Copies of this chain bind each other. A is one copy, B any other.
Amino acid sequence: MSEFSLIDRFFSNIGKAKEDVIIDIGDDAAVVDVSQKKRLAISVDTFVEGVHFPAQTRAYDIGWKSLAVNLSDMAAMGAKPLWVTLAITLPKQDDEWLAEFSRGFNDLAIRFDVRLIGGDTTRGPLSVTVNIFGDSSESSGLVRSAAKPGDKIYVSGFLGDAALGLQSFSKQLPLTTTEQHGLQFKLNRPIPRVKEVLALKSFINSSIDISDGLYADLNHILSASGVGALVYINQIPVSREYQWCCNGLQSYDVALTGGDDYELCVTVSAEKEAQFLDCTEQFETPWSCIGEIKAEQGLLLLNANYEEYRVAGHAYDHFLSDS
């Protein structure tokens, strides 16, 4: 039983269905009609010590990342972030920790112009839950379920660095200390692709943020859209540090299954691809085409020799080991 089927089984139909709920539980965010001209995207994510971040993570980084993860959900939905609420559970009051946490949270809030409007502090094992609210009025918003056969599949940035950053805490990587710190920085300070997606969304058919790894998240798009895909794994964008670490036989597994990148995976129809690419040029972040949506179901990965590539790992799932 996975996290996704847990939500399906126990929580997919709580309360009566409502006409003003445009997108219900199950996407990166819900979308509700607030008035005739206004739609809000709403999303929630929890961050637990020892599960979502190692115990040695700095308070500043926990503050930053707990907001970044939620901003990334707004990016995936093509919504403009507006407000957030924060529920924080702490084992004991620690002023230094709280000051650093709120500094990290605030630095990202200022950068993306969101306001903290509600909070709850309680005593208990460290965890942080953020709810975010975004404006989804201007267009119908982006969803996972609108990928069409023929769409090109694009991803932003470089994949797998965050997962290597996490590995670097416990494993000897063939990198300098500076390079390892660089990967840990990618793990702890993701930059959600909000600005990019607000500029690009009119060229995008479907979208998801890569929090559980490309392989799992692209599969969410495919199953929600009822389509399949072909992905050329050697076109998956990876950093120089990644190449140094992962030059073995399974060299793309970390980029395919490592979580925490918070890059976007989008599909773009062939006729809008040129406009999409023109528009991406205003941003530093690279966008790479990694494959194509197909009518036939299933996700087929091909290596540089056009042979099928099989993934050894699988996406991180909180409850998978209970099944």
Contacts and interface: CB of A to CB of B under 8 A. Distances in A.
Given A115-B21, A129-B46, A121 B7 contact: yes
A59 B147 CA distance: 39
Contacts of A110: 15-16
A1 B94 CA distance: 11
A115 to B, nearest CB: 4
A98 B115 CA distance: 33
Contacts of A93: 1, 6, 319, 322-323
Given A11-B102, A42-B85, A124 B50 contact: yes
Nearest to A319: B93
Contacts of A20: 82
A295 to B, nearest CB: 31
A17 to B, nearest CB: 7
Count of identical protomers in the assembly: 2
B11 A86 contact: yes
A309 interface: no
A10 interface: yes
A88 B117 CA distance: 21
A138 interface: no
A198 interface: no
A226 to B, nearest CB: 23
Contact of A48 (B3, B15, B46, B122): B122
B83 A14 contact: no
Contacts of A45: 87, 120
B16 A122 contact: no
A311 interface: no
Interface in A49-89: 49-52, 82-87, 89
A116 B322 contact: no
Given A16-B110, A83-B30, A116 B40 contact: no
Contacts of A123: 48, 51, 318-319
A109 interface: yes
A10 B99 contact: yes
B44 A319 contact: no
Given A51-B122, A125-B124, A116 B46 contact: no
A94 to B, nearest CB: 9
Contacts of A92: 319, 322
A308 interface: no
A293 B296 CA distance: 71
A267 interface: no
22 contacts: A3-B121, A6-B93, A6-B98, A6-B121, A14-B115, A16-B110, A16-B113, A18-B82, A18-B83, A18-B115, A24-B115, A24-B117, A29-B118, A32-B83, A32-B117, A44-B119, A46-B89, A51-B122, A87-B129, A92-B319, A120-B129, A125-B125
